[in-house]
Amino acid sequence: MYRIILAVFTSVAIVQPSMAQTFPNRTVRILVPLPPGGSNDLVARIFSERLPATLGQAVIVENRPGGSGNAATEFVAHSAPDGHTLILANTAHVVNAAFFKTLPYDPIKDFSAVTMAYAVAFALVINASIPANTTQEFIAWAKTQEKGVTYASAGVGAPHHLAMEMFQSLTGAKMLHIPYKGAGQFVPEMVAGRVDSVIGAINSLIPHIKAGKLRALAMAGRENPLLPGVPTLASGVPGFDLDNWTGILAPAGTPAPIVQRLNAEFVRVLKSPETAERLIPQGIDIVASTPEYFSDALKVYLAKSGKLVRDAGIKIDQ
């Protein structure tokens, strides 16, 4: 029996280095749980352009929107742990655990963290036809609207959803959630006036803010030079605190050498001057962390988002 057990452990020890030595041996897929057009898709395309040169294999982006990101996330969770199938996950990855009664995956146990890649600046933005120039004016206006005020999101559990639910909880404003599959869908609806507001990524909103069709009232995080003079939401709504990040995850059990190789490759692309030139002007802050940092952060954000949802009394949609 001892020899059998020893043989099993020896074979496992041999297999993992062998996988790492031959990785990658086919196309690497990066799943994006959102449709084309948003910041996640933009960064994923940069990865697909820049990674093949050093990986020696094609890198393709596969947009798989729907189900609040759960469909794409479940697919990756159940994929082979060999580094060839990855997901560009955002804050919804852990927030969904608080919004949904059950999930077809565990956001921590079913994944290997590769890198926290970047954070996107979010802002409270309204249609320019709304008679409000400050957050407080918007809150006052919203409370007078008998027909209700609407807000957009990229789906249940998306950062937009959590942010606006927090906003309502702290201000007493009552608003109707209109979930879309991504910014590519809800931004045109906002510009057309079919939805009133959003707390969303500024990169897809700034062109319409500059055109005068949308109005930025406050930054969800710190002030941003791309929107000079726009104050923070916390300054007008004490207690508002939004975490927003995006990172690369692989299926749990991916061998450590492959995770380290992937981390090195993604960090190399993220830290290049060319990437900074494309992302920073769009309000995207590059993080490029270690796998260990991202792994620890996932656990912290899971606990924090769960507490926030419970304390704010946010109801689970599904």
- Fold classification of 122-236 (topology level): D-Maltodextrin-Binding Protein; domain 2 (3.40.190)
Query: Looking at this protein, which amino acid is placed at residue 11?
Result: S
Sheet holding 197-201, edge to edge: 175-179, 149-153, 197-201, 122-127, 214-219
Query: Looking at this protein, which amino acid is placed at residue 164?
Result: M
Return the biggest CA–CA distance within the chain: 78
pLDDT of residue 8: 47
Distance CA 120, CA 245 (A): 7
pLDDT of residue 11: 47
Per-domain residue ranges for the chain? 25-118+243-312, 122-236
Q: What is the 3-state secondary structure (H, E, C) of 190-230?
A: HHCCCCCEEEEEHHHCHHHHHCCCEEEEEECCCCCCCCCCC
pLDDT of residue 95: 87
Distance CA 43, CA 143 (A): 38
Q: Which CATH superfamily is domain 25-118+243-312 in?
A: Bordetella uptake gene, domain 1 (3.40.190.150)
Distance CA 214, CA 217 (A): 10
Model's pTM, two decimal places? 0.83
- Block mean pLDDT (10 aa), the chain, length 318: 50 54 94 87 95 97 89 96 97 87 93 96 96 97 93 87 90 92 91 96 93 97 92 93 91 98 98 94 92 96 85 62
pLDDT of residue 244: 84
25-118+243-312 against 122-236: fold identical: yes
Q: DSSP labels for 222-255?
A: S--TTSTT--BHHHHSTT------EEEEEETT--
